[in-house]
Structure 1
Amino acid sequence: MPGPVEVAVLGTPAIVGADPQRSLRAKSLELLVYLAVRDGSASAEAILDDLLPDAPASKAVHRLHTYVSDLRSVLRHNAGPGSYLTHPNHRYQLNAQRFDIDLWRMRAAIRAADGATSKPERVAALRRAVDTYRRPLAQGCEYEWLEPYREAIRQEALDATVALAEELTGHPAEQLAVLDVAIPQHPYGEELYQTAMRARAQLGDLDAVRALRRTLTRQLAEIDAEPSDDTLTLADRLMADLRRGGHDSRVLRPPDEDGRPV
């Protein structure tokens, strides 16, 4: 039996390595993404309500059958014969054994972390989850039903990142290797900025603490919000501690050639 077909839904949705000469209809791809985010199964009624809300009832079912047929045909063309999408009890269901979907890998890693019996096992599972989430669900798509799922998955990834950073407490360089990637993905996640500030302070980098505070303030201003008092208090305390320790680069740098402070 051919191996599972690889599907990406985190970022631009696609069948990975698919024949460009045999691409999915736009609605067929939307159906594939929809089933993926619902763990592979949805009722025909839910699919019609979410994917074809404006279609006349007399035509909606026929259109859905067309998209299902197209999806099956393209999957078989790219991954060989087999049963990829079944229709039991008025539901449409992806055959989990025939798919390797990035979102499913992320969720499986989170479940593995929750069930881990040792710290190394938990850290490894959280790393897999965090590394899998690189871009938002169905990036570039504006499906009408999409936003609540996109936000929920983003929160799953954010929670995994926060948990991984906590597990790496005491290892600031390792924390920052995770956080420097995660912060641009979650630009409003204050917990990430707080942890990054602490890690930068442990490394004696006052300028970086300042920069994190400025970046968070600027990002939140874009959504008419401000950093919490806890975040501001933490930043002020860390910067004060670093100055007392002689880490203020504004003081340590020599004046410029005109005698002005740098």
Structure 2
Amino acid sequence: MRHAEFREPRLVQVYDAECPWSREDDFFLAVVNETPGSRVLDLGCGTGRLALGLIAAGHEVTGVDPARASLEAARAKPSAERVTWIEGTSSILPAGSFDVAVMTSHVAQFFVGDIEWAGALSDLGRSLVPGGRLVFDSRDPQARRWERWNPVDSRRRIMLPDGRAVSAWTEVTAVQGGAVSFTHHYIFPDGERLMSTATLRFRTEELIRSSVEAAGFAIEAIYGGWNREPVGVGDGEFLVIARRS
């Protein structure tokens, strides 16, 4: 199934267990906290990890995601009733409703086509107030992160809350024109095997800058690592902070 780790309830549980709060969330929280008490859009909120952290920090949060199973997991968490959860895509965003918009966990890379990406940026710009900020992450293609997505380097054991362990690994199936397709494999203790397929777009810094600016944003900063290192000397990331013009 495509994007099954977000859509298949059994894999959503695995995803949630594999992706606890991390320094990546610390980065986004710190940037959002620069606008105290802000109205925040979390586009591609998934199971709600960051959205709930933002609520705890005193922000008003709306989490938007097209995957119902992920949203159901988010709604079941403590304090979830304080977040506005919406099933949908960027196309349903209300105009001028947010001070800050975030896309975390490399959600930006799921917009593979240039037209699709431009549309999402346009929707985000429309949803922000004048001067509102957009913050997102995208992997630097120079780091060639996908070369580690193979059955040897990516093999891992994921512990579920009930103590069971799921075996998982990833394999790349195609690399073409900046788009990398891959499959996640999962084996559950009862022997069930599930797969999730996806394609991510690895845009260069030049492409990110030009597309974001074309959508009416001014780039404030692009960092290469979670401690705000320069591009090329950090964690193989593009951490983009932009402001609606």
Same fold (TM over 0.5): no
Of Structure 1 and Structure 2, which has the larger fraction of its residues in helix?
Answer: 1
Q: TM-score, normalised by structure 2?
A: 0.24
Larger Rg: 1
Of Structure 1 and Structure 2, which has the larger fraction of its residues in strand?
Answer: 2
